[in-house]
């Protein structure tokens, strides 16, 4: 029995060591993709509930529900939103205590006599319906572009909100203007007492068009993705990945990319003249797809692919790799499901064209896995030829 246990242990370590040697780059041929929903129009955010259900927003105002991997034919709610350019029903988050309170949070665009605005509201979900809207933060600047709208709860239980500068670049540096910021509020809409700008939801400023947020589980750092301004050929370029530090200035519009100026925070990565238009992002934490473990995954719109970012322990970028280059078109979000599967949301619709999809990504048994298995088997054979001393 001891011989078998040791053999299995050695074979397991040999397999893991072999696999890690190849884990720096993701082999796309070892990934299987499956379309699980289609005929959507600009889906924006997909969030899984603790009970396995998933909620989905479409910019049209539809709030959809997915159960057992199948999207229901009809939305569970339709919000009266204003779809002006990039606006509509955007961000979605579930309360950290969703199992107990069933609070669901939405970021959406609306219009009144003063013009376009965004707000974040809390609703109560019950048996696939929502009700009891409570507006938490209102009059976030809106525009046909740079509208943003990602919302996520952090490890501290606070709600983080990305707000684009809504075409008012000059005001991104003004901490009294809610656009061009990352905002942070309590789940009831009040301002946390430890926000650095007293009485203000502003968490960082000088942000241009931030669209992705997630926390590195290794150190608790918040990492953000942000659209840069136009590049050499008129397309957006100088896109950024930023380490978010409370109260800091990220430079827009005074600087682009690396400022090397103590007044501003440098991005940890910027794309130069290459265009990503980065949107939703997530740190992959599951063992289901080992090649992704610990990597920062970024859905790109104009880049039309999934960027796989390897970060060191201090969140410095070690490498980038592009997957699904042009395969599915524009990608709005990337989400890790409860079982470790990845879900991609496309963003190719618009103008009444409901041609967007949810795509599931899972591992596929391939040559690497077969070699690892062969190494493991050979390890057992080799070890079995030796008699281990009695302990």
Q: Which residues carry out catalysis? A: 146
Distance CA 233, CA 272 (A): 12
Quote the CA–CA distance of 35 and 358 in Å, as a whole number. Answer: 6
Nearest to 339 by CA among 302, 286, 381, 378: 286
d(CA 337, CA 37): 15
Query: 310 - beta bridge partners?
Result: 319
Separation of first and last alpha carbons in the chain: 13
Question: Contact 34/359 with Cβ under 8 angstroms?
Answer: yes
Q: In what order do the strands lie in the sheet with 342-346?
A: 31-40, 356-363, 342-346, 331-336
Write the secondary structure of 37-73 as one string of H (helix), E (strand) and C (coil).
EEEECCEEEEEECCCCCEEEEECCCEEEEEECCEECC
Asked whether the beta carbons of 249 and 172 are under 8 A apart, the reply is no
Burial classification of residue 44, based on how many CB atoms lie within 10 Å of its CB (0-12 exposed, 13-18 middle, 19 or more buried): buried
Name 301's Cβ contacts closer than 8 Å, sequence gap at least 6.
276, 277, 278, 279, 330, 331, 332, 347
């Amino acid at each position: 029995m001891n011989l078998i246990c040791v053999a299995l242990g050695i074979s397991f370590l040999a397999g893991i060591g072999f696999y890690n040697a190849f884990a720096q780059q993701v082999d796309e041929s070892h990934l299987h993709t499956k379309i699980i929903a289609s005929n959507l129009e600009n889906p924006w955010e997909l969030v899984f509930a603790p009970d396995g259900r998933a909620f989905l927003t479409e910019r049209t105002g539809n709030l959809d529900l997915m159960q057992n991997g199948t999207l229901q034919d009809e939305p569970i709610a339709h919000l009266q939103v204003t779809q002006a350019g990039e606006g509509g029903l955007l961000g979605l988050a579930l309360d950290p205590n969703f199992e107990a309170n069933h609070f669901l949070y939405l970021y959406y665009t609306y219009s009144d006599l003063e013009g376009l605005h965004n707000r974040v509201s809390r609703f109560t979900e019950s048996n696939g319906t929502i009700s009891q809207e409570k507006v938490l933060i209102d009059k976030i600047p809106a525009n046909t572009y740079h509208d943003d709208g990602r919302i996520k709860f952090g490890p501290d239980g606070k709600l983080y909100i990305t707000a684009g500068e809504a075409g008012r670049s000059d005001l991104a540096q003004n901490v009294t203007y809610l656009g061009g910021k990352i905002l942070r509020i309590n789940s009831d809409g009040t301002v946390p007492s430890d926000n650095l700008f007293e009485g203000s939801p502003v968490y960082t400023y000088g942000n241009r068009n931030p669209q992705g947020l997630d926390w590195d589980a290794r150190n608790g750092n918040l990492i953000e993705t942000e659209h840069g301004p136009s590049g050499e050929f008129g397309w957006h370029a100088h896109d950024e990945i930023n380490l978010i530090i409370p109260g800091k200035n990220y430079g827009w519009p005074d600087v682009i990319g690396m400022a090397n100026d103590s007044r501003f925070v440098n991005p940890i990565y910027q794309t130069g003249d290459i265009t990503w238009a980065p949107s939703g992002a997530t740190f992959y934490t599951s063992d289901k797809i080992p090649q992704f473990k610990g990597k920062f995954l970024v859905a790109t719109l104009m880049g039309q692919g999934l960027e796989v970012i390897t970060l060191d322990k201090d969140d410095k970028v070690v490498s980038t790799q592009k997957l699904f280059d042009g395969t599915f078109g524009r990608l709005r979000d990337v989400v890790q499901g409860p079982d470790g599967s990845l879900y991609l949301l496309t963003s190719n619709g618009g103008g009444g064209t409901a041609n967007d999809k949810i795509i599931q990504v899972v591992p596929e048994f391939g040559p690497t896995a077969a070699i690892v298995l062969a190494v493991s088997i050979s390890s057992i054979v080799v070890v079995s030829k030796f008699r281990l001393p009695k302990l």
